[in-house]
Amino acid sequence: MKNINYFAANRAEQLNQTTDEIKINKILTQLGIMGETGTSDIIEMINLILERNRENGGNLEPYRLSDIYKMLSEKYERKYGKSSNVGAIEQRIRRTVYKALQNIASLGIEDYSNEIFQKYSTSLFDFEEVRKQMNQIKGSSMYGGKINVKKFVEGIIAWLKSDELEI
């Protein structure tokens, strides 16, 4: 009887992981960054954080991005047998998040009431930074918005837990 419960629990966890990955892919696609180089790093990063949360009873434990980057580097080394520079991982992720900011800002310029803009401009980014990016794109400012990788990642995790995001 214990084996059946174990397999049922294991299967439920696998389905949950699959559902999370589908949702992550949907969000990244809506942001227009699915084909970017750092997208797989972002997906791995979110999965790593979710895995840590599951091990800690589902609570979002405090973490430092530098620790997550280091864990990603170690995971890549184990998985692919080649080392990946922590700085390179961080840079790929930052560039991809910046691309998402640019895409959201462009959506906001075109249609302020765009559903994707409304949904993600405040949950994944500081809206002030989105406005700065919009102003730079329009040419009314020399400086664009700044990204916050932690807010971006935690925003995606919040969307994963939300019932509003349909698969």
Is 89 a domain residue?
yes
38 found inside a domain: yes
In a domain, 143, yes or no: yes
What's the pLDDT tens digit per position in 26-76?
999 999 999 999 999 999 999 999 998 888 877 777 899 999 999 999 999
Side-chain half-sphere of 110: how many Cα atoms within 13 Å?
Answer: 10
Q: Where does the pLDDT of residue 18 fall: very low under 50, low under 70, confident under 90, or very high at 90 and above?
A: confident
Task: List % helix, strand, coil for the chain (3-state, nearest 5).
Answer: 70, 0, 30
Whether 167 maps to a domain, the answer reads: no
> Which structural domain range is residue 93 located in?
2-161
Residue at 39 is within a domain = yes
The confidence band for 17, taking pLDDT boundaries of 50, 70 and 90, is low
- Residue 166: inside a domain: no
Query: Does position 140 have pLDDT exceeding 50, yes or no?
Result: yes
Total domains, the chain? 1
Q: How far apart are CA 138 and CA 141, in angstroms?
A: 8
pTM of the model: 0.86
Q: Specify whether the CB–CB gap between 113 and 144 falls below 8 A.
A: no
Query: Structure tokens of 18?
Result: 């699959």
Structural domain includes residue 6: yes
